[in-house]
Amino acid sequence: MLTPLTLLVPPASPPSLFSFNRFSHFPFSTSISATTTSASDLLRVVSRRLVLATKTQSITTMASQEEECKGNLKAQLAKLFEVSLKVTVPNEADVDPLIAACTGKFGDYQCNNAMGLWSKIKGKGTQFRGPPAVGEAIKNNLPTSEMIDSCSVAGPGFVNVVLSKNWMAKSIQKMLVEGIDTWAPQPPVKTAVVDFSSPNIAKEMHVGHLRSTIIGDTLARMLEFSKVKVLRRNHVGDWGTQFGMLIEFLFEKFPNFEDATETAIGDLQAFYKASKQRFDSDPAFKERGQQAVVRLQGGEEKYRRAWAQICEISRTEFHKVYQRLGVHLEEKGESFYNPYIPGVIEGLTKQGLVEESQGARVIFIEGINIPLIVVKSDGGFNYASTDLAALWYRLNEEKAEWIIYVTDVGQQQHFDMVFKAAKRAGWLPQGDNYPKASHVGFGLVLGEDGKRFRTRNTEVVRLVDLLDEAKNRSKAALIERGKGEEWTEEEIESTADAVGYGAVKYADLKSNRLTNYTFNFDQMLNDKGNTAVYLLYAHARICSIIRRSGKDVEELKNKGTLVLEHKDERDLGLHLLQFAEVVEEACTNLLPNVVCDYLYNLSEIFSKFYSNAECKVIGSDKETSRLLLCEATAVVMRKCFNLLGITPIYKI
């Protein structure tokens, strides 16, 4: 039993860790030539908060006001409009720029503040006579910037901005020289925990674990790209009453249990089912299993060794899946947090949060008609006990500022209750401030019959078999196309890995995670449409164009000049420059499909550019510029693949 733990409780005046002000959005530096000294002064005193038109909490921040925001177009424009808004309505506090991409033909982005401002200032003796006049003033008060080519006001005061194509071209070329990491978001957190995959020991990983593993890995990758320290946690189910049953069955089958291997035990799922059947049908075995739990939890050495043996065999099976998916996790299962539970419960009890109810100890959550049970009526702990202890540990010991749980939508209420209990305890601040905990739910994987995806005999699909099937189909398609004669065996294998596993990942990630999706090999391995195969081949074609030119693209980056003269060149350049804000949006809202949508659109826009006879690349008088545009597209595509956990291919 641990001594009572010191709980993380904010005082009446919360420290900066609990205050969103710590993560307020500093103004971004861009190339601004202020027309007057007053405009320059305003730049230093404008509001630190930044709310973009997406109406999501922006996760971009800065280390200092002088640091340059190199990627996010919305953020850079917002900084300019902050200056203008301060001049236009100096008496209105907390006016945040509302910047959105234009959907019409009047510009690239627009500022949408005029109507909202008019509703605030009319009747206050303002000089303006309606939203269009406010919009005109916002436009006229914008600081000079090489970023902007022109501005216009449309409708009820929308300020439309056309970006300078010269500035766009220089920004893309700068990324090519300095690297795409300069376009990474800058989140308001330094350390995050992503809790994902989390299978149960002695059970097969199924398609639900596939979704959690793929989505969780992508979220971790996006945060890591954003220079956040990510603690990738595999919260495996390695503790509980079922282990008495499993240990006793192991003793029975293998008296020298330490010699038992994965091969000897055979199918883990079959081993679990056989032990469960014995447990349910044999009272004497059931009693021995229950006693085994007590001995295990009491720390008896033989039972601990047997438990560790079962866990290790399971890990070997899990590793086969993680190896194929290229996923890395650090296991901290239920057993890790078990020693912390008594102290956490005692601390919550001292705060008056834990109450007696029908023999159990519970926490009542406002607005929810069932309590959160933290100690069962028999005195045992449960999932809520473990999850509270894990949350406490992650906040206090690991100093995480954002804790993300990736599980199916069916666990939404459970985590909602755990988070609300943590807020009642003062571990987490009220509202959506940091540190915070987020549940990332996801829907079901369906078969073609519209029901939960299973094999024909109703068994859960083994993930290793499913992934191997995807690879084998991909390999067969390559051989059918004659690559067996052209490529080495190693090239065939690596391409089949990239395409097969990438196809499974992309099919999962491209839809909003909250929706169900139908698992269909033929669709996901199609080389046309919005599939990983199509996108991987598109990237390989771009690489082929650069190779066929015979030019050293690294030399071109430093000596050549990128220009965006043709409309299709400019459209492609604009989409490339929107990469940073797309990744920021995906991180903020924990939605990998946003990156998938961007990647597919990028491929389509590039195809339009390349297929236009007026935009000929090799042999044209603009070959150097267009090769640089091809390289920039390939660089951004590769980073998107990396964020999605997909390995790019370079030839087809």
User: Model confidence over 461-510: pLDDT tens digits?
Assistant: 788 889 999 999 999 999 999 998 999 999 999 999 999 999 999 999 99
DSSP state string for 480-496: HTTHHHHS-HHHHHHHH
Burial track 63-101 (b if 16+ CB lie within 10 A, e otherwise): eeeeeebbbbbbbbbbbbbbbbbbbbbeeeeebbbbbbe
Closest CA to 339 of 390, 296, 264: 390
The pLDDT value given to residue 329 = 96
The pLDDT value given to residue 19 = 28
The helix/strand/coil state of 575 is: helix
What mean pLDDT value characterizes the chain? 86
The helix/strand/coil state of 464 is: helix
CATH for 73-163 is: 3.30.1360.70
Q: How many residues in total does the chain contain?
A: 652
Q: Out of 208-222, 268-282, 344-358, 627-641, pick the least confident.
A: 268-282
Two tokens, residue 629: 């545009």
Residue 409 has pLDDT above 90, yes or no: yes
CA distance 467 to 488: 22
Domain boundaries along the sequence of the chain: 73-163, 164-188+434-651, 241-331, 336-402+414-426
Whether residue 647 contacts residue 507, with contact meaning beta carbons closer than 8 Å, is answered with no
In degrees and rounded to multiples of 5, residue 152 shows phi and psi of -150, 160
The helix/strand/coil state of 645 is: coil
Higher-scoring residue by pLDDT: 329, 293: 329
Q: Which residues contact 16 (CB under 8 A, 6 or more apart)?
A: 22
Architecture of domain 164-188+434-651: Orthogonal Bundle (1.10)
| Rounded (10°) angle between helices 268-281 and 301-325 | 140
DSSP strand pairing (355-357 vs 372-375): unpaired
Whether residue 427 contacts residue 391, with contact meaning beta carbons closer than 8 Å, is answered with yes
| Rounded (10°) angle between helices 383-396 and 412-425 | 50
User: Model confidence over 586-605: pLDDT tens digits?
Assistant: 999 999 999 999 999 999 99
Q: Which residues contact 524 (CB under 8 A, 6 or more apart)?
A: 470, 503, 504, 506, 507, 531, 532, 533
Whether residue 524 contacts residue 532, with contact meaning beta carbons closer than 8 Å, is answered with yes
Closest CA to 470 of 499, 511, 509, 506: 499
